[in-house]
């Protein structure tokens, strides 16, 4: 598994490609109710129009467009 942590700034540059003429703006920040994971909603303009993306921070400190999965209790049994 790739353990490289990509900063939020790099993801914003990749997805929204902000420039001086069309910057990306932070619209909302907060925490998810169940997992308490942080999220940031950004808006920007791309060639086809306006775009809004929500980035979620995962437990290892990386940011992604997919929310982290809540850890649920699990039980495993093994027969010897």
In tens, the pLDDT along 23-72 reads: 899 999 999 887 888 999 999 888 888 889 999 998 888 898 888 887 77
Q: How many Cβ atoms from other residues are within 10 Å of residue 17's Cβ? A: 14
Q: What is the pTM of this model?
A: 0.74
Confidence (pLDDT) at 17: 85
Q: What are the φ/ψ torsions at residue 76 (nearest 5 degrees)?
A: -130, 140
Q: Say whether pLDDT at 4 is over 70.
A: yes
Mapping DSSP to helix (H, G, I), strand (E, B) and coil, where does residue 56 land? strand
pLDDT at position 2 is 59
- Determine contact, residues 51/65, Cβ cutoff 8 Å: no
| CA–CA distance, 58 with 28 (Å, rounded to integer) | 18
């Amino acid at each position: 598994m790739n353990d490289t942590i990509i900063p939020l700034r790099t993801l914003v540059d990749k997805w929204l490609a902000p420039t001086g003429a069309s910057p990306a703006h932070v619209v909302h920040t907060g925490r998810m109710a169940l997992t308490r994971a942080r999220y940031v909603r950004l808006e920007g303009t791309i060639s086809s129009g306006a775009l809004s993306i929500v980035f979620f921070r995962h437990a290892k400190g990386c940011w992604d467009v997919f929310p982290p999965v809540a850890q649920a209790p699990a039980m495993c049994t093994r027969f010897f």
